[in-house]
Amino acid sequence: VKYVVLSFSLLPLILLLCLSAQAVDRSNFKTCDQSAFCKHQRELKPGQSPYRALLDTLELSDSRLTLQLINDNNKVRLLLELYRLQGNMTRVKINELKPLKPRYEVPDVLISDPITEALSVVAQDENSLVLSLGGKDQRLIVSAQPFRLDIVEGPQVLMSLNSRGLLAFEHLRARKDTSISHKISSTVGSMWDSLKSMFSRFTFLLRKGIIKEEEDKPGMWEETFKSHTDSKPNGPSSISLDFSLPGVEHVYGIPEHADTLKLKNTDGSDPYRLYNLDVFQYELHNPMALYGAVPVLISHSTDRTMGIFWLNAAETWVDISSNTAGKTVFGKILDFVQVSNEVPQTDVRWISESGLIDVFIMLGPKPADVFTQYASLTGTQSFPPLSALAYHQCRWNYNDQEDVKTVDQGFDEHDIPYDFIWLDIEHADGKRYFTWDPSNFPQPKEMLQGLMDKRRKLVAIVDPHIRVDSGYKIHNEIRSKNFYVKNKDGGDYEGWCWPGNSGYPDFTNPEMRAWWASQFAYDQYEGSMENQYIWNDMNEPSVFNGPEVTMHKDALHGVWEHRDVHNLYGLYVQKATADGLILRSGGVQRPFVLTRAFFAGSQRYGAVWTGDNAAEWGHLKISIPMCLSLGLVGISFCGADVGGFFKHPSAELLVRWYQVGAYQPFFRAHAHIDTPRREPWLFGPENTALIREAIRQRYALLPYWYQLFYNTHRTGQPVMRPLWVEYPDDVATFSIEDEYLIGKDLLVHPVTDEGATGVTAYLPGKGEVMCFSTLNGFLSLPSLKYFLWVSHIPVFQRGGSIICRKDRVRRSSSCMENDPYTLYVAPSSQGSAEGELYIDDFHTFSFEVAKQFVHRHLSFSANTLSSRNLAPDSQFSTASWIEKIVIFGGSQPSSVTLKNADGTESALEFEFGSTLAVLTLRKPGVNAAADWTVVLR
């Protein structure tokens, strides 16, 4: 693979000189030992599973197999359901056979019921059952005693479930010191008589010693953390299951954590925690929970890529162990020399507080297959308007309308483009969302119109805590409609957040979500206009005086406890908000909504950011693996607060952060209210120039970003991706997290170390690497020492690619919509290259509902460059044209001819830079939607 070294700040290209806070208060948040169910589950020892499959209970239909499992200790039966799903996936569900009351099943995350395929039994004996999973000799083996599932392909075991015997399912039961009627009569209604009979028999069996009920342990029925007591009216209900991955050393995913891309071994430490929390300036390299939770883990080896999707919205802990963890490189070499028989293996154990086991096993085998499989379940990244991919300027808070106007003018005065200015909580009247402060923002429409006149936009924050105030319309309507979350006693749940005493709308209620969406209508949200978009913060939900700064678990969403639905709350808030922005436009305009809390499926509703980071080099560095992890599990639209939310960055750190942010999907500067102002022109003219150049690079590359988001919307492939995704056989890439790919054609190695004068970039792929120096245009090195100074961002274009840019950068992306394109062609060592160009109206759903778009395939081979239509049934015209073509690494032609679709030919002007072997073709002048061919002779 060849790479072209690109610095979009200058042409000619960079000369390669050598070939070339105070941190979180952790006591506010639980450890596993402080979480009763996690502690109890972790006390279970491997290899002592009490569960047995009752093969004589098997029932098989075309799409579903069921059989019962029994816990030989307490005789409680479970129901196992197995599904073979279309696209090389398997679904495993385990629930109580006859629970005292229904257990929570996560709704609204799957985009539809997964399409099933036929299951068939190919063999059976008294202790096992073998099912066919389709092609490539894939089998699912059910072992009866102890219960175990193995997925095999030929002789190879791909994955095993309960191979360590850590399946544990705490069945719902009556508390021993209370009347069973008191515990269940309010929820079971007409089932009372039969349940009373069941309970009598259960009590008889206990007395006879035929079954052994677990002893009550601390925290099973009530749990206290700091000053908060969590009543557990349904008692212990946690679940656990282990998965073994033979041959696997590298696993990824389960965001959100401020940690390495490759997940670490948790033996002897806390597991990774998935529980959406408002964490004030999080620590780095810590498995503690943050703002979002996506229960998807991806394994990768040179043989195969697979995924595990644990569909559960309750508090969840994930333990990871590996038989190669802790071995030094020398130890691994010694194993190889001594021909060790130890096969690498990673074991993953999921523990959730409530709900049931519902797991999707995605069998790949390639990385792209896993992304497609997961997207088929939870959907793809929403396709944002082009402006959302541009630069965003934010702080807590711009003071008033005059401040907004001054900042807006500052960008023009310093010739820095931007698309969005943001307003935090201070813009609202007393932090009453959907309102404007009458003193500081008395004429919001005038402010918005001023931005619209410059083709710019604004984002205002709307948080899901509602000030309890009888003079506040939003509060009164929510209360009158009975839409608030309830406390355990049935009254409206109230907690403390930014406005003071606040109520929390029950976003799990579809009627509440529909009402919330209606409030974004222009006649409801007074002062709003079509160029105003929305930011949902604090939606974990954040409750300042609640346990772990969030909602009490025994709060009620209808019949369900908050403990069942916690990790879904932020997804529902963002969904309702996005629906509102679509609704206000009559279904025409694509929304933009940023959320802090998220779950599996949140990608369908907008963007996320990494939360309350700090102006420190470590936080800059960790933003890369944090966003890479999110991309692997479907959420491509990710970014970190440029400059750091807390503290004050040095000029060097701020410049480097802009350079990193310009090459991450969501590009926003943000700062805490107590930090000094840091608009891009406040650090001296030299640093202003560097920041301007980084932002201009982002704008020039917007056509490439937009095409990538269109593709991820269609396919689910991540926009920002680890190197191993494109080079799955290159073991050296498996742990790399300081460089990454944007799509498959740009490799970025950001500068994240203070005072750095160089980086060593690993260039994956076999064959030639193309880069530019004063000495040699072609190198064949696996890595490259890249010397730089503060103005440089190490960016490499893959040999064999064509990238479309717009080099006329204006004050906003909307001002550039009809501007011409420049094509950058980087041929492979075989002299060929290809790329794509995508164009639509950049802001509506017309691309989807009316097929109004342009999608072109660009190819270069045998000195011929051509553009071909990829969507002949689409209808769209564009005023944009091809202004320039830049071809790297070739030789000087004697002539260049443009052939139009109508057969006419014309000679093109060109110039050739022999030092760097760059051929520039000027003014082809063809429409970007037309067929054309350029021939070099």
Output 499-503 pairs: Cβ under 8 A, ≥24 positions apart: 499/430, 499/431, 499/432, 499/465, 499/466, 499/467, 499/469, 500/467, 500/468, 501/467, 501/468, 502/465, 502/466, 502/467, 502/468, 503/465, 503/466, 503/468, 503/475, 503/478, 503/479
Which three-class secondary structure state does DSSP give residue 525? coil
**Residues 703, 391: Cα–Cα separation, whole Å:** 14
Among residues 408, 506, 537, 554, which one is catalytic? 537
Token pair 């908050």: residue = 562
**Residues 93, 905: Cα–Cα separation, whole Å:** 64
**Cα dihedral across residues 833, 855, 712, 462: positive or negative:** positive
Instruction: Specify whether the CB–CB gap between 419 and 695 falls below 8 A.
Output: no
- For residue 553, give the nearest of 37, 25, 24, 186 by alpha carbon: 37
**Cα dihedral across residues 573, 577, 578, 580: positive or negative:** positive
Encoded amino acid at 856, one letter:
R
Token pair 């007393």: residue = 430
**Residues 634, 378: Cα–Cα separation, whole Å:** 8
H/E run at residue 641: strand 641-642
CB atoms inside a 10 Å sphere around CB 674? 9
- Which residues are paired to 94 by β-bridges? 80, 357
**Residues 824, 308: Cα–Cα separation, whole Å:** 39
Among residues 242, 278, 612, 738, which one is catalytic? 612
Which three-class secondary structure state does DSSP give residue 150? strand
Tokens for 895, please give them: 């002539």
Asked if 537 is an active-site residue, the reply is: yes
Instruction: Specify whether the CB–CB gap between 771 and 760 falls below 8 A.
Output: no
- For residue 827, give the nearest of 751, 758, 904, 769 by alpha carbon: 769
Encoded amino acid at 301, one letter:
S
- For residue 463, give the nearest of 382, 520, 575, 541 by alpha carbon: 541
Where are any strands of DSSP class E within 156-260?
156-161, 168-169, 222-225, 228-231, 239-246, 250-253
Token pair 């360590």: residue = 164
**DSSP string across 51-120:** EEEEEEEEEE-SS-EEEEEEETTT--EEEEEEEEETTTEEEEEEEESS-SSPPP---SSSSSPPPEE--E
Which residues are designated catalytic? Answer: 537, 612
